[in-house]
Amino acid sequence: MKEEERYKDIRVDIKNFNFYYGDFQALHNINMEIEKNKVTALIGPSGCGKSTFLRSVNRMNDLVDISKYEGEILLDNESIFSKKYDIVNLRKKIGMVFQRPNPFPKTIFENIVYGPKIHGEKDKNKLMEIVETSLKSVALWDEVKDKLNKSALGLSGGQQQRLCIARAIAVKPEILLMDEPTSALDPISTSKIEELIRELQKDYTIIIVTHNMQQAARISDYTAFFYNGVLEEFGDTEKTFTNPVNKKTEDYITGRFG
């Protein structure tokens, strides 16, 4: 592939990125390129910096006032820390789904239209269309179409998580960040979300933190192995799982630690 073509496929480019909580350095000189319409899995033992990395990409870490960073994260060749991306704008482009389903204590309908309304959508028909498309994208429409005005809290955990994914994609982001999105779910709901991730990758670029090695192997194209805040290995998932370059990666994926 020509250099120019290859360049076009990179949505997020992380360059020499360091991150600190006060004096503690949580990420050490991370360099990573996140490719468009691919699923990139972040793996590694507890406390190795996966969430810190994920939360850096949409500047969630700005909320921690002792935090500081060095280096660069580029979204479409523009720094996410630049004025072009104020936080509201950036989060519109980079949606996030959390470990525990966290729907708002509002109706299913209101959960989905919340973001679009913030971004100025007022037209009732348009909002209804967004609700239908978003819920269809997460295969939840048939299950909830007759109770859009019921509380989202009445849904099962798996349905709530699909609703949260629908809420995230309702504003048409480009990137979806997922922080262990299935860790609170039963196996059936988990496999539905995994299927969904594979579907969504046609339209979105996905970065997912997971503790589940089988899940990383099943759903991701690329895998990044973090250890003590260092990106020890990053590459093709199949290769990482069958023929890792780094001894620490091998020990981790074969369950020798973590």
Ligand X SMILES: Nc1ncnc2c1ncn2[C@@H]1O[C@H](COP(=O)(O)OP(=O)(O)OP(=O)(O)O)[C@@H](O)[C@H]1O
Binding range to ligand X, per CB under 6 A, among 21-29, 71-79, 156-164, 192-200? 21-29
Instruction: List strands edge to edge, sheet with 10-21.
Output: 78-79, 67-75, 10-21, 24-35, 230-236, 222-227, 39-43, 205-209, 175-179, 94-97
149 near ligand X, judged by CB under 6 A: no
- Using the CB atoms, write b or e for 112-142: b if 16+ within 10 Å: bbebbeeeebeeeeebeebbeebbebbebbe
CB of 46 to ligand X, least distance (A): 3
Binding range to ligand X, per CB under 6 A, among 19-27, 85-93, 182-190, 238-246? 19-27
CB of 64 to ligand X, least distance (A): 5
26 near ligand X, judged by CB under 6 A: yes
47 near ligand X, judged by CB under 6 A: yes
Residue 61's nearest CA partner among 99, 89, 87 is 87
Residue among 40, 51, 137, 189 that touches ligand X (CB under 6 A): 51
Closer residue to ligand X (CB): 50 or 162: 50
Of residues 61-100, which lie at the interface with ligand X (CB under 6 A)?
64
Residue-by-residue DSSP string for 72-120: EEEETTEETTSTTS-HHHHHHHEEEE-SS----SSBHHHHHHHHHHHTT
CB of 67 to ligand X, least distance (A): 7
Residues, the chain? 258
CB of 80 to ligand X, least distance (A): 18
- C-alpha span between 152 and 66 (Å, rounded): 35
Count residues near ligand X (CB under 6 A): 12
Closer residue to ligand X (CB): 30 or 163: 30
With tokens 């199949």, the residue in question is: 238
CB of 90 to ligand X, least distance (A): 20
Residue 17's nearest CA partner among 60, 55, 53, 65 is 53
CB of 83 to ligand X, least distance (A): 26
83: which 2 tokens?
């004025």
181 near ligand X, judged by CB under 6 A: no
157 near ligand X, judged by CB under 6 A: no
Closer residue to ligand X (CB): 6 or 68: 68
- C-alpha span between 256 and 236 (Å, rounded): 21
Contacts to ligand X by CB under 6 A: 21, 24, 26, 44, 46-52, 64
